[in-house]
Structure 1
Amino acid sequence: MIKLSILMVRRSDFTYDKFIQYWREVHAPLFAAQSESKKYVRRYIQDHRTGDALPGTTASNFDGIAEIWFDDIAGAKAFFESDGYRKNVIPDEEAFMDRKRCELLYTREYNVMA
């Protein structure tokens, strides 16, 4: 299993609340409705920023994290090259997020404590 974490940045004309509402209520259902999502994506999680911080730590400038799980990198490649992603998901991402400022990190989990 491979996990893609997308460190999200909202469009500058969106408030944080508007960004979260759009991401949750518009983007998530559209993403989930794609046949390619059903074929390649094993899990899709939205991590919404809480605003909490501990003294002496640096708060992140990211607005949230999208976690997308795939069986392997070949499945991720097939999903991101698919017609559904290119024709439907990308235009919707551009409607609420600043894609050029987002960061992508592919990882494998190493479970230390259950």
Structure 2
Amino acid sequence: MIRFAFMINRIDGMTFEEFVTHHRDRHAPLFTSIPEAQQYVKKYTVSHPVTAESYPSPAYDGLTEIWFESRADHDAFFASKNYEELNW
């Protein structure tokens, strides 16, 4: 099993709340909607840091984790035409 973790930050001018909504409600469903996600991706999650007074400021705004059974599955997924044509 191969697990990739992508720590991402929002673009300038976007609030944290706007980013979370986009990441959770637009990006994640779009990613998982393509047939190759069903075929090659074993697990997909998005998460966002929770702030607290006693915690340091987070270094990122979101985390996307993607699990694949093998490197070949990873390569096939990201090389698929459906992935390349996604309208992020």
Instruction: Name the TM-score, length of structure 2 as normaliser.
Output: 0.89
Q: Which runs of 5+ in 2 are unaligned?
A: none
Identify the residue that residue 2 of structure 1 maps to in structure 2: 2
Shift of 1:83: 1.0
Q: 2:76 aligns with which of 71, 78, 83?
A: 78
Contact map agreement 2:51 2:58 (CA 8 A) in 1: no
Over the matched positions of the two proteins, sequence identity in percent amounts to 32
Contact map agreement 1:40 1:70 (CA 8 A) in 2: yes
Instruction: Name the TM-score, length of structure 1 as normaliser.
Output: 0.70
Q: Which runs of 5+ in 1 are unaligned?
A: 93-114
Alignment partners' CA distance in 1, 2:53 and 2:74:
33
Q: What is the alpha-carbon root mean square deviation over aligned residues?
A: 1.5
Contact map agreement 2:2 2:68 (CA 8 A) in 1: yes
Letter in 1 for 2:32: A
Shift of the 76–52 alpha-carbon distance from structure 1 to 2, 3 Å rule, reads farther
Count of aligned residue pairs for this structure pair: 88
Alignment partners' CA distance in 2, 1:15 and 1:82:
32
Alignment partners' CA distance in 1, 2:61 and 2:8:
6
